[in-house]
């Protein structure tokens, strides 16, 4: 079976003191080191930041012409991370039947992704594609007062949060090594973004979290099944579910992050394996491959 080609991509140019692609190195290494039953590498991974801001990115704007099977887009920008040409290239990529994971963060971080078709519509921001439910447009994290909604507080960076499976368990959440057969833990973050399943799409919410502050239940992931409108896709509430700092806070973070971290991702025996299993599940599912749920 052919190796799956994955693009791990941010929406900012390289920057040492930001959430550039270098801060997702553990994810890249997990995927690169994964082997099949015959010891062959399953994934070929390219990890990159975007080129110059304000200009069409040479890869994203022509993504449909590439040989990638799937892209994981970490929208870490302040609103200007994707040009119209970039969005058009990404949309053509998914329309060709290939896989897409799109994730962002609190408030308006990553709102440039709103033009990514149905997957963009799954993401709600403070001033772009606002959640139509007024009850969801409330501050949840009371500690970082400069960060407004959506900002669901699932816990400290470096800690885990418990995952609630929604409806019938989606294959993305399967874990044969879990006591429940399902992934129970995601990395936590003090201010997660908001995702919902758009109407008239083959999409549904598959996982929810609960605020450590208010008890509010919020969506963690939306899965889009392959359909006439495009290939499989996942809309994730925050890129922090995949960042090095959230898998192990000792890896450090940009200087503007000032919330005190935790370490229960290291002390809870199943937490990091669950994060790894979910990432591998996503990578296989987006490529239309069977999910081997061994670690």
Summarize pLDDT for 155-195 with one digit per residue, the tens.
999 999 999 999 999 999 999 999 999 999 999 999 999 99
Residues 237, 162, 269, CA angle at the centre, nearest 5°? 120
The pair of three-digit structure tokens given for residue 41, joined into one six-digit string? 């590498």
Domain 4-286, what fold?
A: Rossmann fold (3.40.50)
Whole-number percent of the chain with pLDDT over 70: 99
DSSP secondary structure code for residue 108 in this structure: T
Report pLDDT for 1: 75
> Quick count: other Cβ atoms within 10 Å of Cβ 7?
21
pLDDT band at 257 (very low <50, low <70, confident <90, very high): very high
Contacts 24+ apart (CB under 8 A), 248-251: 248/26, 248/158, 248/272, 249/157, 249/158, 251/23, 251/26
Report pLDDT for 153: 98
From the list 10, 37, 47, the residue with the least C-alpha distance to 289 is 37
CA dihedral 288, 290, 293, 295 (to 10 degrees): -70
Distance CA 149, CA 95 (A): 31
The alpha carbon dihedral of 167, 227, 286, 79 has a sign of: negative
The answer on pLDDT for 264 being more than 50 is yes
From the list 108, 51, 52, 48, the residue with the least C-alpha distance to 77 is 108
From the list 83, 37, 80, the residue with the least C-alpha distance to 61 is 83
pLDDT band at 290 (very low <50, low <70, confident <90, very high): confident
Going from N- to C-terminal start, the domains of the chain cover 4-286
Distance CA 125, CA 137 (A): 9
Report pLDDT for 294: 52
Report pLDDT for 295: 45
Question: Rg of the chain over CA atoms, in angstroms?
Answer: 17
How many Cα neighbours within 13 Å face the side chain of 127?
8
Residues 241, 19, 160, CA angle at the centre, nearest 5°? 25
């Amino acid at each position: 079976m052919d190796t799956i080609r994955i693009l791990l991509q941010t929406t900012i140019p390289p920057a040492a003191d930001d959430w550039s692609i270098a801060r997702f190195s553990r994810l890249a290494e997990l995927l690169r080191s994964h082997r099949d039953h015959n010891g062959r590498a399953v994934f070929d991974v390219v990890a990159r930041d975007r080129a110059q801001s304000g200009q069409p990115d040479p890869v994203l704007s022509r993504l449909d012409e590439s040989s990638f099977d799937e892209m994981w887009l970490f929208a870490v920008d302040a609103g200007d991370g994707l040009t119209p040409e970039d969005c058009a290239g990404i949309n053509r990529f998914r329309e060709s039947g290939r896989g897409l994971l799109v994730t962002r963060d609190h408030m308006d971080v990553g709102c440039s992704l709103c033009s990514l078709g149905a997957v963009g519509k799954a993401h709600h921001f403070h001033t772009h594609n606002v959640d139509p439910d007024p009850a969801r447009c409330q501050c949840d994290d009371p500690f970082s007062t400069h960060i407004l909604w959506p900002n669901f507080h699932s816990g400290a960076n470096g800690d885990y949060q418990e995952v609630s499976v929604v409806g019938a368990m989606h294959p993305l959440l399967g874990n044969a090594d879990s006591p429940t057969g399902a992934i129970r833990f995601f990395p936590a973050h003090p201010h997660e973004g908001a995702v919902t399943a758009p109407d008239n799409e083959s999409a549904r919410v598959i996982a929810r979290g609960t605020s450590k502050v208010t008890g509010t239940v919020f969506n963690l992931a939306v899965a889009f099944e392959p359909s006439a409108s495009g290939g499989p896709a996942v809309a994730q509430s925050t890129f922090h579910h995949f960042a090095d700092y959230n898998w192990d806070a000792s890896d450090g973070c940009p200087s503007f992050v000032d919330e005190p971290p935790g370490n229960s991702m290291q002390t809870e025996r199943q937490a990091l394996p669950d994060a790894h299993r979910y990432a591998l599940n996503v990578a296989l599912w987006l490529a239309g491959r069977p999910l081997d749920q061994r670690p």
